[in-house]
Amino acid sequence: MDTHLDAGTGTTPVSPQPAKDPRLDWLDTLRIALTILVVAHHSAQAYGPADWWYVEGGPRAGALATLSALDGTFFMSLFFFVSAYFVPASYSRRGGRPFVRGRLLRLGVPVLAGALTLVPGLMYAYYVHYRGYPDISFPRYFADVYLGLGERPGDWSGPSWPDLQFGHLWFIQNLLAYSLLYALCRLVARPFRRSPANAPRVLPPCRVPGHLALVALTVALTGATFAVRVRYPLDTWVPFLDFLQVEPARVPQYAAFFVLGILARRDDRLGRLPARTGRIWLWIGLAGAVLLFAVGADASFFGAGGANGASLLWSAFDSLLCVALCTGLLVLFRERARWNTRFSRSLAAGSFAVYVIHLPIVVALQFAVAGHGLPALGAFALVTACAVPTSFAAAHVLRRLPGFRRVL
C-alpha cells in the first residue's frame, strides 16, 4: 500500500510515485492538525511554563502551563507514530541504501541547515536581549559563542557552553536516528526473513490490539518512564554521542510509538482498530485532560522526577494520557477526517517545512507583542493566530524555490 507521503517527513517526493491509497487521507489531516498544535504549543511557551524560553518577562497564565504539559504527554509521540507508519513501505520500495540516502537528505540536511541558520539567530536574539553581556555582532557571536571558538566568559549564565544546539529540530534528529536504526535492523534480519527453500516466510496474521493490550502498554510505559525520570526529570536534555539532542524522560514514549507505528502497517492493523475501542480511549484521554485543568497542578509537579510518589504518579498519568489520546485521536481522524481537497493536500505537503521554519516566526511575533499590555491568554491567541497562517504561507513559498522542495 504505497502513499505519496515520504517516510518520516510526510512530504511529497520529487520522483513520481504510485497513487496514494485514499484510505490514508485522514493521516494527512492528522499531520496538519499536529503541526498546528506544535505552532500553538511554542506560542504558549512564553506565557505559561516556567522553563527556559527565547522571550522572557511576559505575563503568565496557569492554564497555558497546563496546556503545555498536556500537549507534552502525547503530541510528539503521535508524530513519531505517524512518521514511522510509512517507513516500512518506503524501505521496501527503495531498498536499503537508497532509503538511508533519502533519510540523510530529507532529515539530515534540514537539521544541519537549521542548526547553522535558524537556531543561532534565535540564540543571538536571546543573547542580546537577556544575557546582559556587551553587544556583539552576529558573526562574532556565531563564531565565539555559538560555536564556542572564543573564550568562555567567567560569569557565563548558560544553560550550556557553547550556545550550539538544535532547538526544535531535535525531533527531526531523533526521527533520523530511529530511521537509521530501523534500516540497520532490516539489514541484520535479512538472512532470517526467508525459509531454507528461499521462499518468503508466511507470517501469522496479527491480532488487533484491544483494551487489555492498551492497558499493558500504559503500565509498561509507566514503569519505563518512572525508571528514567529517577535520574532525568522532564526538560532535562542530554547530548548523545555529542550530537543527538535527547530528552531521556520522553524516550520510552517516543521509541515505543515509533515501533508501534511500524507494526501498525502490518495487516492494516491501524485500519482494523475498532472504532468503539478508539472512542472509549478518547473519552479516557479527554477526562484526564479535564482533570488536569481542574486540579491545576503547578509546573514543579509536571516536571516531577526522582524516586518519589509524585514522580511515579505523574509518570502513570502521563503514560495514560499518551496512550489514550494517541489511540483516540488516531481513530477519530480515521473515522471523521477523510478529507482530500486541493487545499488540504497543499497544507499536508508543507507541514514538514512548517515544522522546520515556524519557530523564528513565533519568536518574532512574541517579541512584537511584548510590552503592549496584553494578558497572557490574549498574547498567546494573537501569536498563534498570526503564526499558523504565516508559517504555512512561508513554507509554501520556500517549497517552490529551486532545491528547497527536495528537503522540505
Q: For 200, list phi and psi in degrees, rounded to 5.
A: -60, 140
CA of 54: how far to CAs of 49, 171, 177, 250, 364, in Å? Answer: 12, 18, 27, 22, 10
Instruction: Domain of residue 376: give its range.
Output: 22-193+208-236+263-407
Largest Cα–Cα distance of the chain, in whole Å? 75
User: What's the confidence (pLDDT) of residue 200?
Assistant: 54
Q: What's the confidence (pLDDT) of residue 23?
A: 59
Residue 247, in any domain of the structure = no
CA 332 to chain centre: 20
- What gap in Å lies between CA 408 and CA 405, rounded to an integer? 5
Place of cell 503530541: 75
Q: What is the pLDDT of residue 18?
A: 42
**Of 43, 73, 66, 45, the residue nearest 329 (C-alpha):** 73
- Specify if 314 maps to a domain: yes
- What pLDDT, on a 0 to 100 scale, did the predictor assign at position 45? 95
Would you call 251 exposed, middle or buried from its count of C-beta atoms within 10 A (0-12, 13-18, 19+)? middle
Is residue 14 domain-resident? Answer: no
249 within 8 A of 305, measured Cβ to Cβ: yes
Q: Using one digit for the tens of pLDDT, what is the confidence trace for 20-78?
A: 555 578 999 999 999 999 999 999 999 988 888 999 988 999 999 999 999 999 999 99
**CB burial of residue 293 (10 Å; 0-12, 13-18, 19+):** middle
The answer as to whether 252 is a domain residue is: no
Residues 394, 400, 404: CA angle, nearest 5 degrees: 85
* Within-domain flag for 162: yes
C-beta atoms surrounding 337 within 10 Å: 17
Whether residue 183 is contained in a domain is answered as: yes
Domain count, the chain: 1
CA distance 96 to 257: 22
| 199 falls within a domain | no
Q: What is the pLDDT of residue 209?
A: 80
Closest to 12 (Cα-Cα) out of 395, 357, 375: 395
pLDDT for residue 9: 44
The phi, psi pair for 230, rounded to 5°, reads -60, -35
Q: Which residues of the chain have pLDDT under 50?
A: 1-19
List the grid coordinates of 305: 522526577
**pLDDT reported for residue 61:** 93
Helix (H) or strand (E) holding 238, with range, is: strand 238-240
Separation CA 152–CA 154 (nearest Å): 6
Measured distance CA(185)–CA(182) in Å, rounded: 5
In a domain, 198, yes or no: no
- Residue 92 grid coordinates: 521496501
The total number of residues written for the chain in this structure: 408
Q: What percent helix, strand, coil does the chain show, rounded to 5? A: 65, 0, 30
pLDDT at 302: 67
